[in-house]
Structure 1
Amino acid sequence: MTTADPRPADSDKLDSGVLKIAGVVVLGAVMAILDTTVVNVALQALTLEFKTSLDTIQWVVTGYMLALATVIPVTGWACDRFGTKRPYLLSIGLFLLGSMLAGMAWNIESLIAFRVLQGLGGGMLMPAGMTIMTRAAGPHRVGRVMAVLGVPMLLGPIGGPILGGWLVDAVSWRWIFYINVPIGVIAFLLAWRILPKDQPRPAEKFDFPGILMLSPGLALLIFGVSKVPTAGGVSSVGVWLPALAGVALIAAFVLRATRIANPLVDLKLFRDRTFSVAMITLTFFMAAFLGAMLLLPTYFVLVRGESALQAGLLLAPQGLGAMLTMPIGGRLADKIGPGKIVVPGIIVILAGLALFTQVGADTSYPLLLAGLFVMGLGMGFTMMPISAAALQTLTQRSVARASTTMNIVQQAAGGIGSAVMSVILASLLAGKFGVPTSQGQLTATALLMNPQTHDAAAGASADAFASTFLWALVLIAVCLVPALFLPKRPPVRKEDDDQEPVIAPAMH
């Protein structure tokens, strides 16, 4: 049963009911995000286990991403049509089933198929979870709620490589999937018990033509971009043809969505100035920051010769910095407005990232760790306050569709940013060693493993990384422009046209 929110509009604290809901959502998000980063560390072990090529094994990651891109657009409609609780339980169930089967995979084909099943569940977890938390807390506390939801986004990239490296080395690659089973069972039971039983809305006609344009469009775009590093550039037919087809389908979806009553993604949201500015800021931020995050462990492994586990441990200061500032950033975004938090946060990130534009083959570890810590401090003031800004001026009715749109932007921008940084790095490495772009990283690895060529190769490789970090720095700096237009006042409670009340946290 939904009841009116009895708390005053200026109430600051997240009460126990909201915190319980947050705990359930964070557990689900940790499961999905951790899984992505854990698998990245295990790709080499999986290549050896199944005696396959790097091109084939990449489908373990790409298949998961494509499934995510396919299912995310459905989430907003599903949360409106069936309420948020049932789609959330379904997503946990699918992810849990996919994890169990992936751990039992008998060949590379079965592993890729089960990873797709995982992705179909994982794609709904974040947008549905974001919708549940925003509705439970109300718009006046959205910054604080986003700060809580930001924890798994930080713990995943930090804890994933550490946990994955340890499981692969000490136990078995199968446990990178089995580890989700106990977490998933607990998350499912807690969600069943704790999440509020919200009411489905009157059924709107599902936009089947829209899903047939948008989901394949996103999948083709991400597939094309993901092929760039192995294809050696954007000129390959295997890159530009699917990417161009994806862009065409997305463009067709956008044109159609502006002319029909109930599109799959509500483009009318972009009439809200705050939402539009936040989406532009988020696009540049995710592309640049996730691209830079891809480079950091690669630098430690390739240039400095660290193991996957050691590289994961070296990234920990970034997460520690973010964990210190994220709760503060969430509270301040609610009190003084996200615009006053995000701009200083981006400047702090730039200060930390600037160090990596000067990185060498023997840069001291204390200096690198300090740079990562500073970047983390800035991230705590940046990513989730941007998300909070996007949602704070919307009505309750709009939150599910807005969360879906935000997750589409995050997936697309993050995937494209990671691919672009990979291409820049591969091109620079290839230029240093006089080989084709597709051979840049393989050549660098071979030369670094040879004691006679190691020192020269390490210096050249470090130069390539420094130049690539400079591109990431420029993209982060671009974020400052739209960030200046984010709201500089605290959010104001806004009711729906039909005066739908905020969903009070309750036990069912």
Structure 2
Amino acid sequence: MRTSRRQARPVPSDPGRVDPAVLRMAITLIVGALGVVFDTTIISVALNGLTEDLDAPLSTIQWVSTGYMLAVFITIPLAGRAQSRLGGRHLWISALGGFLAGSILSALAWNATSLIVFRIVQGLAGGIMMPLMYTLLMQAAKGRNIGKVMAIITVPTALGPILGPVLGGLILHLADWRCLFFINIPFCLVGMWLARRNLPDDRPAPDSPRTRLDTVGLLLLCPGCAALLYGLSQVDGTADFADAQVLIPLLAGLALVGGFIPWALARDSGSLIDVRMFRHRSVSSSSTLLFLGGISLFGSMMLLPLYFQQVRGATPLGAGLLLIPQGLGALVARGLVGTYMDRVGPRAVALVAFVLVAASTVPFAFVTANTSEILLMAALFIRGIALGAAMIAPMGAAYVGLEHEEIPDASIITRVAQQIGGAVGIAVLIVILQQHIGDADTSGALAGGFSHAFRWSVALTIAAVPLCLLLPSRTEPAAPADDKAEQISEKTGPATK
């Protein structure tokens, strides 16, 4: 007997529930990504000790972090092109293998130079992994429940600030700096095993057409981004934006990136990044907000531990413990923001989030050496929730209305915007802090410099508030006409002739 069309059609899934296959993929990717996130936050507490263990000045040791960040910027734009050639699963496993190799080599480094080189190996792999993680999840979700999916996939960025500094301090207390890199090994090995089991084999067919690598775009964009980051990283207590060591790489980076834009626009297809993606309001507005959000997030994350150590006399481990409330708030946000974002849309969530980020930073704008720690911890918790929402909403909104093949470009653009914003935030706030601290040698004078820098952080966050109105008002794409007809047919039954 012939089965009716209605009986043969599968039962539709709960539209408010994340597909179990997507959830399984998210867990798989998070396990591997935790190694990258922890590695970034753990190493920050070890830089001072590395100057003694490796017998090198701080100006050299800081390249352990700067070299890693530069390497990340070089490979971020390559993630989309590499995925189209190798497939997402193969590329993810290869990047995890590269990060594993870099971690082992870093743990075995014999001097500062070798450690910097091996950290660059880590950065080359890490730069591929982070945008690829977002791309694979968004492609698998197919535009459904974007808020919940983003809340899941951003778990690593919440756990990093919570556990990274504390874990790094504990490791340095119990062992030496080499164990900071050995801790990545289980994340990489388990992540590779899970990827082989749970990620779909999406390698292109051998006979499928392959676009050529945009070599000119590669030589313009990757060195351009790296030069911008390098110039910003040189801003410290002895150099400002007018010094040659800062100004020359900044101008060179702007020239290279500026040259990439007309080059990409002149190509009908195949450019390293499709800059025409900015015609989508969702991409352009989200990128701008992520840039400003990066300033607020990374800039303040640099100021907060310095304040606790220099003004209040906390140890590195103590400063890490004092930052836990902000990390806990960001983790709590993952459970709340996804639901509200799918319910009321990213525009409303981002608007409330950026207002709360600014408001919860105000206590630090008037901070002194004797400000109540209870007040600061409460402000940090609220700030963590707000920052979590301020990152999730624009990141999820960037994918609204995009086609499947446009998602990799959106992932790269938003990732670069956030990282550049973070570098700008750190550089600008360092200059402001140094100008107002000067030769201050008392806790009160130091606190005054920090309060002034935090006021700038508040002002930059407020500047982002009106831009939230440009975000999409909803996350779910409108159902196509044939889907709507099918849904009606489900409710009314097959049409009668």
**TM-score > 0.5, shorter chain as reference:** yes
Matched, 1:100 2:107: no
Equivalent residue for 2:35? 31
1:391 aligns with 2:399: yes
Tell me what 1:371 maps to: 379
Distance 2:323 2:189 in 1: 29
Aligned to 1:502: none
Cα distance in 2, alignment partners of residues 389 and 105 from structure 1: 42
CA distance, structure 1, for counterparts of residue 11 and residue 365 of structure 2 = 49
Matched, 1:303 2:306: no
TM-score relative to the length of structure 1? 0.89
1:256 aligns with 2:280: no
2:151 to 147, 150, 154: 147
2:422 corresponds, among 414, 435, 454, to 414
Q: Which residue of 2 aligns with 1:91?
A: 95
1:380 partner SS? helix
Task: Output one character per residue of 1:246-271: Cα deviation in whole Å (capped at 9) or x when no partner.
Answer: 11000001111110122101111111
- The answer to whether the 8 A contact 2:162-2:328 is kept is no
* 1:103-154 deviation line (CA, Å, top 9, x unaligned): 0000001000000000011001111111111111221222111111111111
Rounded to whole Å, the distance in 2 between the matches of 1:8 and 1:342 is: 31
Secondary structure at 1:182 match in 2: helix
Q: Which residue of 1 aligns with 2:445?
A: 460
Distance 1:32 1:402 in 2: 21
SS at match of 1:12: coil
> Compared with structure 1, are the counterparts of its residues 404 and 494 closer, same or farther at alpha carbon in structure 2 (3 Å cutoff)?
farther
Q: Say yes or no: does 1:475 pair with 2:479.
A: no
1:216 paired with 2:201, answer no
Equivalent position amino acid for 1:257 in 2: A
Normalized against structure 2, the TM-score is what?
0.91
Is contact 1:139-1:494 (8 Å) kept? no
**Aligned counterparts of 1:480 and 1:8: Cα–Cα separation in 2:** 38
| 1:343-384 deviations in Å (ceiling 9; x for gaps) | 111111122111110110011110110010110121232211
Q: 1:29, CA displacement in angstroms?
A: 2.0
Match of 1:229, SS state, is coil
Q: Deviations over 1:38-95 (max 9, x none)?
A: 1110001101101111110110001000100000000011112222111111111111
- 1:100-499 alignment runs, 5 A limit: 100-200=104-204, 202-261=209-268, 262-430=270-438, 433=439, 447=441, 457-492=442-477
Cα offsets for 1:262-291 (capped at 9, x unmatched) = 210111111111211111111111112210
Kindly state the Cα deviation for residue 232 of structure 1 after the two structures are TM-superposed: 2.1
| Deviation for aligned residue 1:6 | 6.8
Given that 1:128 and 1:400 are in contact with CA atoms closer than 8 Å, whether structure 2 keeps it comes out as: yes
- Distance of 2:417 and 2:343 partners within structure 1: 27
Amino acid at match of 1:216: P
CA gap 1:494/1:192 in 2 versus in 1, 3 angstroms: farther
User: Which stretches in structure 2 are left out of the alignment for 5+ residues?
Assistant: 1-8, 481-497
Quote the offset at 1:401 in angstroms: 1.5
Do the aligned partners of residues 136 and 302 (structure 1) sit closer, same or farther apart at CA in structure 2, a change above 3 Å counting?
A: same
Question: How far off its partner does 1:425 sit?
Answer: 0.9
**Contact residue 224 and residue 240 of structure 1 kept, 8 A:** yes
Number of residue-to-residue matches in the alignment: 468
Q: Which residue of 2 aligns with 1:47?
A: 51
CA–CA separation in structure 2 for the residues paired with 1:212 and 1:360: 48
C-alpha contact (below 8 Å) 2:89/2:202 kept by paired residues: yes
Helix, strand or coil: the match of 2:444?
helix
Alpha-carbon separation, structure 2, partners of 1:152 and 1:105? 27
CA-atom RMSD in angstroms:
1.6
Give the greater-gyration-radius structure (CA).
2
